[in-house]
Amino acid sequence: MTSAAPGAPGRPGGIRTSKLDELRVVHQALPRHDQAEKIAGTTRYAGDLAFAHMLHARLVRSPVPSARVTRRDSTAAAAVPGVVCVLFGEDVPHNTIWVDVPGQTVEVAALKASMEVLATDRVRFHGEPVALVVAESEEALTAACELVEVEYEELPGVFDPDEALADGAPAVHERGNLIGEWRIDRGDADAAFAAADVIVEGSYRTQFVDHAYLEPEAGVGWMDDEGVLNLRVATQVVEHYRDVARILGVPESRVRVIAPYVGGGFGGKEDMTVEPYLALAVLRTGRPVRMQWTRQESLLARPKRHPMRLRYRTAARRDGTILAHSIDITADSGAYAYLSALVLLYSSVHACGPYRVDNVRLRARCAYTNNPPTSAFRGFGGMQVVFGYEAQMDQVAARLGLSPAEIRKKNALARGDTLPVGQVIETEVLLKDCIDAVLDRAGAKPAPSGPRKAVGRGMAANIQSYGRLVWLNDSAAAWVGLQLDGSLTVRCGVPDIGGGQASSLAQIASEVLGVPMDRVTVHFGDSALTPLAGTTTATRQLLMSGNAVYEASVQLRDAVLGAVARETGQPAGGLAMRADGAGGTVIAGPGLRLTLPEAVLICRRRNVPAEALGTFFGPKGQPVARDLRADRVFPDFTFGAHLCDLEVDIDTGHVQVVRYIAAHDVGRAINPCRSPGRSAAPRCRGSGWRSWRRSWSRTGSTWPRGSSST
Amino acid sequence: MTHTATITLTVNGQRLTRTAGAHLTLLRWLRDLAGVTDPKYGCGEGVCGACAVLLDGEPVSACLVLAAQVDGAEVTTAAGLSGPGGIPGPLQEAFHACHAAQCGFCTPGMLVTAAALLADGRIRSRAEIRAGLHGNLCRCTGYGPIVDAVEAAQEARQARPDPRDHLGRAPAGHDAPRPRPAAGPERGR
Amino acid sequence: MFIRPFGYERAGSLADACEMLRERGEAAKVIAGGQSLLPMVNLGLVQPEVIIDISHAGRDDDGAAARGGGAVPGGAVPGGGRSGSDRAVAARSREIGGGDGYLTIGALVSHARLAGDPAVASAQPLLAAAAARIGNPRVRSRGTLGGSLAHSDPAAELPLAMVALGASYRVTDGRSARDVRAEEFHLSFLTSALAEDELVVSATVPALGPGWGWSFQEVARREGDFALAAVAVLVRMAGGIVAEARVAVGGAADRPLRLADVEAALAGASPGEIAGRAGPLRGLSPVSDISASAGHRAHLCAVLVRRALDEACRRSQEATA
């Protein structure tokens, strides 16, 4: 029923077929199975579903970043016609959101973080939920929210992580402002600096970034006939049903989370958003409830990318060999920890980039401030450090008269090298190929388009882990079943957040079982009815759920072929299951040709289930301690290189991207037509990160002035 | 002065009449009263383009129009670009072929904006297409496949004049069904 | 998104709207295209008790009755009994007209129409260019000239163009009309010279005279954003030197500014002397905000003035060549 590849050599968990050239469905540029509905406009997203007599819910949020709450009164609000209830923290059965590592994992006690569902006596950021209003109409909500009386006694706040860690800083939480700390001490950094020909220092800062997916947080909740609370929400993690159950104090089996197609996630729908509030409203009223956050709420209060202060000191030999890094990172976690400690762990592991560095001293800390909380965002801490390590590489190259490509290729990691954290790279590193690819494609730097214009070229390379931290016991399950007519049903708990997650699973099942794509139906993202496949995060979903579907499909194929073999007396090894080219599937062998419906009947006659459950387990490893040293932290890493030509208007500072070329080792793409988009988008997000406005002032209290401000 | 208004709109060829608060935006009227959910709420400020619809043929942000202002108007949403029986219109076919939808949340707004852009039949350069789509944000595709799709749609129309207009409407006698785009599997739920 | 309910009143003419404004006072807001008002309403920054819709004023069908057969919202469309001059005023607010070296644009003309109208492009191309730079196609379809002028955003394109062109606005309170010069109309941030019960009817600008060149320049973070700085310039060259110049900057103060001392300094300048004569711009008082610092805005104004003068001079010389 299951398979595992702990520590297996080769690319861990890759689709293990050796016959890549024989692929007929996988690696074909097929139209995604969700495209037809999306272009027709008929896809129903989380905010598109409505029930008759549905209620609406909205949060009252703190208008100040740091205060004691001295009084709360819902009398006036509750009196507004159409208002059904107004809830405060005391009305929440268990008023704590525990942010473990989401999903089906063991608890990692050291990283446990918590916050109140509805703040009771203290608010720590502008936008923190204080009350939940439920009403018959959005108009009643609007009126009532203005009438919820909350008195705040403002307290001093702290809005910079370094200041938050200094002595005497206002304590955001009683236990102090330090959330997490990681250290790496590898080799002898002091000796390496003493022996260096060149030492380069740099200090870099990154800012808050909002995910700004087009779909703001939304969902609908209702109680079904079995007394199960259903939440159909925009999320990357259906496993949050457990967190909801804990807040409500009901068994986990009484909460169901459904993830419809999600209008973009990028990490911003990894933590809970509307879920606990919808659940409370449904539980209290017994009626269907919809909650739709405004874009302004989304910008104000949902966790952002961590701003980081990166201080690098780098030692190099005259020939360009990087000898040592000394790195200090401070991250702004905002008012609540969320996944900050883990994000910082990713930053720490990736902090030296895709380069071999034998002597490393790293210290990374993340701190509470009264800014908006920060948490997961695509790359999960791996992005911010690129700015640091790549700027250092360019500085070293400039000091030594080397080209940016030369210094990167000279220090590039290779298979068999050991990362500073201690993990050995076991798979092929195509970094140099990526660098050569972008250089080849780029050709010569273009000339400026006018007299007061200048063109600059930059390049950068990166390393990015994929799959979850190895001590999180990651797994994914999927079920495949043949129908009597030979069509195929796939069930897998994967949330499809726009990356074609469900469509890829259809391709894999179709490949193995020979059932044409238009006869494969995928049920996905349902915590009650589809086998749990874990979070659509951490670049893990295709690795995990793809392999689970593959496992299930292989089992099913073998079962069907076995039944046919016994029925016909043919050796199973001589039978094949494949598309018949006419819209169906055949089981073919020497002198034998059965339709799939015929084979399914044989299975039924012979008590062979025409269905299978496959579970795929990620590689295992031991948890790390504060001093990072581990044989394995992540399943594996992938590499890429980007090149950009920019034109700057010297007088106005206006920047125009002339050309942007990216090369990534994506392995064998399941659907090659999807890959360009999935890499082009981060490029645009990256350039947005560079050029868009800063959104949060040092007061922590800046209501973003509209969507155009991030 | 009134606080409620009875509004009739012709949405994708269908006449709909609803009575509701006079303060409702066209977006809320469509989504909450008429059940037309392909225009999406994305920002409420007219910045993102997710709620774009054609109002008497002109692209507008449905969140920045009061339904009461446009009583009697003709509204076309992305779904209205499909032909009879949901057959994809030429622009939708091009979006499909070019993989121009990822999460798909911006797609309805992109489609109607592109339809308005191509309405007059003049061939646009790639730069003009990009300029025409300014104001419709997408966070997944990086825009390349969307621009490809709009370019492909106008090229296809040039190469094979289509009796349907840019809204996918066939003139009388031309509504023979076209094949659906390359078949994908059915979707659960 | 979360709107506090308000009443809706449709005005059949501008005079009706003015009457409604007098009746409702500060609780009322006027809507035409709604592209400035509704974002503020949706964000809760403005919470009107009633919105008076002038977008149907002067329509032949006079509002909703004839459109689609739906009930008239509010049932309050004023019908007969209005004087013919109300109709004429309202009709004027939908028109683009000209002659005798002037161009008159009705307040209800959309930005898209202003940007695409051949008569505007030939009579006053600066205005068409400014309108084409506004927002995005959706803003241009709905947004109106009168709305933009009355909103009086210091970074908006049309008020800037109007100040540069020396425009005059016809405003009415429904009983009488008066003309206000653009420079005296735009007073400060989102503040105009309109009285509580006044509306813009039209704007009149001189047509581009023989030998004049023009330029409209702006810098924004991204296409379609409000400009960090914008400049509108008109120049007439004669005998190889500047005979007349008009220079206005937007985003440089709480209103669009006409730079009279720069204009004066430019008189008689040869093309090579223009940058020097334009010199450091005086009288600017830009603000620092999330988009740009005051210093950066002032710098951008200076850069754009130089560039606009270059382009306008070139066009002037081409026009006379």
| Residue A130 CA, distance from chain mean position | 28
Name the 3-class secondary structure at A356. Answer: coil
Of A296, A164, A281, A326, residue with least CA distance to A217: A296
Rounded to 10 deg, the angle between the C125-132 and C157-165 helix axes is: 170
Whether the predicted pLDDT of C60 surpasses 60: no
Of A378, A507, A519, A549, residue with least CA distance to A3: A549
State how far the Cα of A380 lies from the Cα of A357, in Å rounded to an integer. Answer: 22
Strand-pairing partners, residue A289, are A55, A221
State how far the Cα of A275 lies from the Cα of A153, in Å rounded to an integer. Answer: 29
Instruction: Tell me the per-residue pLDDT of A158-167, one tens digit each, with 9 for 90 and over.
Output: 999 999 999 9
B146 & B89 share domain: yes
Of A461, A479, A674, C83, residue with least CA distance to B188: A479
Of A180, A182, A461, residue with least CA distance to A327: A182
State how far the Cα of A220 lies from the Cα of A256, in Å rounded to an integer. Answer: 12
How is residue C95 written in tokens? 């028109």
- Whether B8 sits inside 8 A of C69 (CB atoms) is yes
DSSP state letters, A27-86: TS-PPPTTHHHHHHT----GGG---TT-EEEEEEE-SSSSEEEEEEE-HHHHTSTTEEEE
Between residues C305 and A682, which one has the greater pLDDT? C305
Instruction: Tell me the per-residue pLDDT of C222-263, one tens digit each, with 9 for 90 and over.
Output: 877 889 999 999 999 999 999 999 999 999 999 999 999 999
- Residue A141: which of C2, C225, C303 has the nearest Cβ? C2
Chain C residues with CB under 8 Å of B9 CB are: 68
Whether the predicted pLDDT of C69 surpasses 80: no
Chain C residues with CB under 8 Å of A145 CB are: 2
Distance from the Cα of B112 to chain A's closest Cα (Å) equals 11
C86-206 and C212-320 in the same fold:
no
Give the domain CATH number at B154: 1.10.150.120
C227 Cβ partners below 8 Å, 6+ apart?
C133, C155, C157, C218, C219, C220, C250, C251
Residue with tokens 């598309």: A579
State how far the Cα of C215 lies from the Cα of A325, in Å rounded to an integer. Answer: 53
CB C52 within 8 A of CB C11: yes
Q: Would an 8 Å CB–CB cutoff place A510 in contact with chain B? A: yes
State how far the Cα of B124 lies from the Cα of B127, in Å rounded to an integer. Answer: 8
CA-based angle B178:B183:B184, to the nearest 5? 145
Query: pLDDT value at position A25?
Result: 86
Query: pLDDT value at position C283?
Result: 84
Nearest CA in chain B to A673: B99
Distance from the Cα of C96 to chain A's closest Cα (Å) equals 33
**A603: enclosing H helix or E strand:** helix A596-605
CB A174 within 8 A of CB A166: no
Of B67, A417, B61, residue with least CA distance to C74: B67
Mean pLDDT computed over every residue of chain C? 89
A46-155+211-301 and A161-209+304-414+428-469+622-709 in the same fold:
no
- Topology of domain C86-206 in CATH is 3.30.465
* Weakly modelled stretches of chain A, pLDDT under 70: 1-21, 100-112, 673-710
Whether the predicted pLDDT of B123 surpasses 90: yes
Residue with tokens 């069904």: B177
What's the count of helices (H) and strands (E) in chain C, helices before strands? 13, 14
- Topology of domain A161-209+304-414+428-469+622-709 in CATH is Aldehyde Oxidoreductase; domain 4 (3.30.365)
Looking at the structure, give the CATH architecture of the domain made up of residues A2-30+475-617: 2-Layer Sandwich (3.30)
Residue B86 domain flag: yes
CB C256 within 8 A of CB C186: yes
ipTM confidence score: 0.91
Query: pLDDT value at position B165?
Result: 54
Quick one: CA dihedral A283, A286, A292, A293, positive or negative? negative
Q: Which region, left, alpha or beta, applies to residue A44 given φ > 0 means left and ψ of -120 to 50 means alpha?
A: beta
Residue B71 domain flag: yes
Whether the predicted pLDDT of B185 surpasses 70: no
Q: Would an 8 Å CB–CB cutoff place C71 in contact with chain B? A: yes
- Whether B66 sits inside 8 A of C9 (CB atoms) is no
Instruction: Tell me the per-residue pLDDT of B67-79, one tens digit each, with 9 for 90 and over.
Output: 999 999 999 999 9
Strand-pairing partners, residue C248, are C232, C258
CA-based angle C138:C144:C148, to the nearest 5? 105
Quick one: CA dihedral B36, B38, B42, B47, positive or negative? negative
- Residue B181: which of A31, A497, A681 has the nearest Cβ? A31
Best probe of the C interface among A291, A452, A693, A698, by most C CBs < 10 A, is: A693
Task: Determine which of A421-425, B141-145, C76-80, C201-205 has the lowest per-residue pLDDT on average.
Answer: C76-80
Task: Determine which of A617-626, B117-126, C309-318 has the lowest per-residue pLDDT on average.
Answer: A617-626
How many domains in chain B? 2
Of B57, B62, B129, B60, residue with least CA distance to C138: B60
CB A477 within 8 A of CB A368: no
Name the 3-class secondary structure at A458. Answer: strand
In this prediction, residues B121-138 reach a mean pLDDT of 94
| Residue A664 CA, distance from chain mean position | 18
Instruction: Tell me the per-residue pLDDT of C2-16, one tens digit each, with 9 for 90 and over.
Output: 789 999 999 999 999
CB C130 within 8 A of CB C124: no
State how far the Cα of A308 lies from the Cα of A206, in Å rounded to an integer. Answer: 5
Domains of chain A by residue range: 2-30+475-617, 46-155+211-301, 161-209+304-414+428-469+622-709
Of A406, A438, A437, A430, residue with least CA distance to A354: A430
Domain extent at residue B27: 4-76
DSSP assignment, residue C31?
E
| Residue A434 CA, distance from chain mean position | 24
Provide the H-helix boundaries in C64-175: 84-92, 111-116, 118-123, 125-132, 137-142, 145-151, 157-165
Enumerate residues 284 to 323 of chain A having a beta carbon within 8 A of any beta carbon in chain B.
292, 294-296
Rounded to 10 deg, the angle between the B107-117 and B90-97 helix axes is: 130
- Whether C290 sits inside 8 A of A708 (CB atoms) is no
Strand-pairing partners, residue A363, are A183, A328
CB B112 within 8 A of CB B120: no
Give the domain CATH number at B55: 3.10.20.30
How is residue A245 written in tokens? 């159950």
State how far the Cα of A647 lies from the Cα of A449, in Å rounded to an integer. Answer: 8
How is residue C51 written in tokens? 């919105």
Strand-pairing partners, residue A181, are A365
Domains of chain C by residue range: 86-206, 212-320
Pick the CATH number of C212-320 from 3.30.450.60, 3.30.390.50, 3.40.50.970, 2.60.40.10: 3.30.390.50
Query: pLDDT value at position A683?
Result: 54
Q: Say how many residues make up chain A.
A: 710
Query: pLDDT value at position A19?
Result: 52
Query: pLDDT value at position B154?
Result: 94
Residue B165 domain flag: no
How is residue A676 written in tokens? 């360009």
Looking at the structure, give the CATH architecture of the domain made up of residues A46-155+211-301: Alpha-Beta Complex (3.90)
B90 & B154 share domain: yes
Chain A residues with CB under 8 Å of C2 CB are: 58, 138, 141-142, 145, 294
Residue B38 domain flag: yes
Task: Determine which of B149-158, C9-18, C87-96 has the lowest per-residue pLDDT on average.
Answer: C87-96
Query: pLDDT value at position C291?
Result: 86
In this prediction, residues B141-151 reach a mean pLDDT of 94
Instruction: Report which residue type is found at A539.
Output: T
In this prediction, residues C31-41 reach a mean pLDDT of 97
Of A198, A650, A284, A643, residue with least CA distance to A450: A650
In this prediction, residues B14-43 reach a mean pLDDT of 97
B90 & B155 share domain: yes
Instruction: Tell me the per-residue pLDDT of C84-93, one tens digit each, with 9 for 90 and over.
Output: 467 677 778 9
Whether the predicted pLDDT of C78 surpasses 60: no
- Residue C7: which of B2, B45, B49 has the nearest Cβ? B2
In this prediction, residues B148-161 reach a mean pLDDT of 88
Using the 3D structure, point to which of B20, B42, B76 is the last residue of a domain.
Answer: B76
Which chains are within 8 Å of B by 3+ CB pairs? A, C
Instruction: Tell me the per-residue pLDDT of A368-420, one tens digit each, with 9 for 90 and over.
Output: 999 999 999 999 999 999 999 999 999 999 999 999 999 999 999 999 999 99
- Interface residues of A toward C, Cβ cutoff 8 Å, are 58, 138-139, 141-143, 145, 292, 294-296, 651-654, 691-695, 702, 705-706, 708-709
Phi/psi of residue C84, each to 5°? -60, -30
- Whether C3 sits inside 8 A of A709 (CB atoms) is no
Chain B residues with CB under 8 Å of A681 CB are: 102, 138-142
Enumerate residues 219 to 258 of chain C having a beta carbon within 8 A of any beta carbon in chain B.
223-224
